[in-house]
Amino acid sequence: MDSETHEIIARVNLAKKEKHAADALISDYMPFIKSETAKFINRPPEQSDDELSIAMFAFYEAIRNYSKLRGSFLKFAALQIKNRLIDYYRREKRNTGGISLNITDEDEKSELIDTISDSRDDFRENEMREATKQEIAELSAQMEEFGVSFSDIAENSPKQRRTLEICGKAVRYARNNPQLLEDFLRTKRVPLVALAEGADVERKTLERHRRYLVAMLLICTNGYEIMRGHIMQVLKGGGK
Amino acid sequence: MKYIVMQCCKGYAVLMDEEGKYVFAANMNYETGQTVTNPIIMSDNHKQRKPVITIIKTVAAAAACIGIISIPCYSYYNRNLKPCSTVTLASDTSISMTLNSSGKVIGIESDNEYGKKIIEKVDIKGKDNAEAANEIVQAEITEGYIAAGDTVNVYIDGNSQKNYEDIKAKLEKELPKHDIKVNIHDEKHPPTEDNKGKKEDKLPHEKPVAPEVTADVSTKADKKPAPPTETKPVMTPAPPVHEETPEHETPLKPVETPVPPVQTEEADIHEKTDKHEPPAPPHKEKISGDILTEPPLSPVVNHPDNGKPLSELPL
């Protein structure tokens, strides 16, 4: 019993650091996650159920937030799953009162969704998604050269608005000075001093978010037009 | 806000919003490159709290709880349970009532057996002081400790003058209903010199003190003259005023003092001057005014001839 407990804790600690270990832990404890979800929805969850996705996400949160002070890991994870599912249902409850698109009409011949004209261009949308996917793959490959992943960036991303604005200011300064971006790509080092002096921001703040700046500066270089379009308000300085 | 799905993993997805912020979110069967709205984002408040902050918060919460509980309790104690004043009915049964700030009886006790018997017969806890005193007096009359026309001394020990006045007013209104005389005294603020004699006279079990002081002074004056500092008790303490003493007679007046000490001193001084002895240093406060009419001789400090040689001085 003790050895099992120690093994779980060791795996949780490893999963906090490594993405693959986290994925492996989630895969191994999938029956546990499904059983906790089933307790809540009173039926066995299917793979496409939103509840199961949320339960898996809650399990991942439990891995990240767990410490020995919180007691048994599985109990802690079960509590996290339950809380997340309650939050999800409360959120969904706010949207009740709408009509489902899958409701059939009186003759039960067609669904409501079939009667609504679809203005979306699915082909164009798929094309756009593919292009975006390609850009992301390229960016991911380029980021590996700098030794960072998207998970690292998500962890290193500024949380406060003030910090986000400081980083945005530095990114804008780099975009207006192509020489800096060229040096960045050549040396594979973030020019923190030049950015801090040029953008008139604190170097310490930039140092704390170095990995985030790597991703943002790479997006500012050539080849990532879709992503640049997505974060246009940051690059133009039109943030809230 | 729109998010681009940057990475999809087993339990989560990494999204980038339009402000360039990267977040962890639940992977609701997303695909990389998909644009999503309204995802379930990992909240920051799920982070582990620091133990020190937790302890500080716990201590602060406990202190706040104690404060919230103790302040009304202390207020209630002050209002209802804290002894504020004492009323003593001094008859044969010396009964003391302890009152709270609103004048209600919170305790009752007596030193003697008669009092304890009365206490057993009355139930006055929680009652107003006047009502309680009324009941006690009624019980004493019933038991025969006091009769109509008797005098009952009441001693009030209040925490303030106002408190004393309030209790006194109530008792003065209530107690005379039993056809008894009531003398109310303030224990905390004893009477001044003027009415001290009167109070002492009213106190039971006390005898008037015989006037001894004047006799002592006369004998001392005959035998040995007192020094000037001891001549002050010319104003000998007045003997206590008896009930028969008419009011127009002031008790402070020295009646039939055989030899006033002042005369003794003057005679002594005359004897000393006859013998040509150096006079005693004048004492303005302690010797009679006749002797101090002329001030003592003192050297002239600012005389114009000061500093001149003897030969130049005028004869």
ipTM summary value: 0.84
Considering only alpha carbons, which residue of chain A is nearest residue B49?
A65
- At residue B204 the predicted structure's pLDDT band, cuts being 50, 70 and 90, is very low
**Closest by Cα among B279, B294, B295 to B228:** B279
Q: How far is A68 from chain B (nearest CA, A)?
A: 11
What is the secondary structure of A127-185 as a DSSP string?
A: HHHHHHHHHHHHHHHHHHHHT--HHHHHHHS--SHHHHHHHHHHHHHHHH-HHHHHHHH
Considering only alpha carbons, which residue of chain A is nearest residue B24?
A154
- At residue B210 the predicted structure's pLDDT band, cuts being 50, 70 and 90, is very low
**Closest by Cα among B81, B123, B104 to B163:** B104
**Is B24:A154 a contact under the CB 8 Å cutoff?**
yes
**Is B92:B145 a contact under the CB 8 Å cutoff?**
yes
How far is Cα B115 from Cα B99, in angstroms, rounded to an integer? 18
- Both tokens of residue B25? 């979110």
By Cβ distance, the residue of B2, B31, B40 closest to A57 is B40
**Closest by Cα among B150, B173, B154 to B88:** B154
- Both tokens of residue A214? 């790597």
How far is Cα B27 from Cα A52, in angstroms, rounded to an integer? 10
Partner-chain contact B20 A61, CB within 8 Å = no
By Cβ distance, the residue of B7, B29, B44 closest to A159 is B44
Considering only alpha carbons, which residue of chain A is nearest residue B25?
A57
CB < 8 Å to B45, chain A: none
By Cβ distance, the residue of A54, A67, A234 closest to B20 is A234
- Both tokens of residue A229? 């379009």
- Residue B45 at interface with chain A, using a CB cutoff of 8 Å: no
- Both tokens of residue A49? 């159920």
Put the strands of the sheet holding B35-37 in their side by side order. B22-25, B13-17, B2-8, B35-37
Give the model's pLDDT for residue B102. Answer: 85
Read off the pLDDT of each residue in A69-93 and give the average, rounded to a whole number.
89
Kindly give the pairing relationship between strand B85-90 and strand B94-99.
Answer: antiparallel
How far is Cα B138 from Cα B121, in angstroms, rounded to an integer? 11
Q: What is the pLDDT of residues A36-47, one digit of tens each?
A: 999 988 899 888
Q: How far is A166 from chain B (nearest CA, A)?
A: 12
CB < 8 Å to A234, chain B: 18-20
Partner-chain contact A234 B28, CB within 8 Å = no
Read off the pLDDT of each residue in A88-104 and give the average, rounded to a whole number.
74
- At residue B170 the predicted structure's pLDDT band, cuts being 50, 70 and 90, is confident
- Helices A122-146 and A210-220, interaxial angle, to 10°? 130
By Cβ distance, the residue of A19, A53, A130 closest to B28 is A53
Q: What is the pLDDT of residues B175-203, one digit of tens each?
A: 777 778 888 888 766 655 444 444 444 44
Partner-chain contact A153 B24, CB within 8 Å = no
Considering only alpha carbons, which residue of chain A is nearest residue B34?
A129
Q: How far is B62 from chain A (nearest CA, A)?
A: 21
**Is A79:A36 a contact under the CB 8 Å cutoff?**
no
pLDDT at residue A72 greater than cutoff 80: yes
- Residue B292 at interface with chain A, using a CB cutoff of 8 Å: no
* Phi-psi region at B280: left, alpha or beta (left = phi > 0; alpha = psi -120 to 50): beta
DSSP designation for B152: E
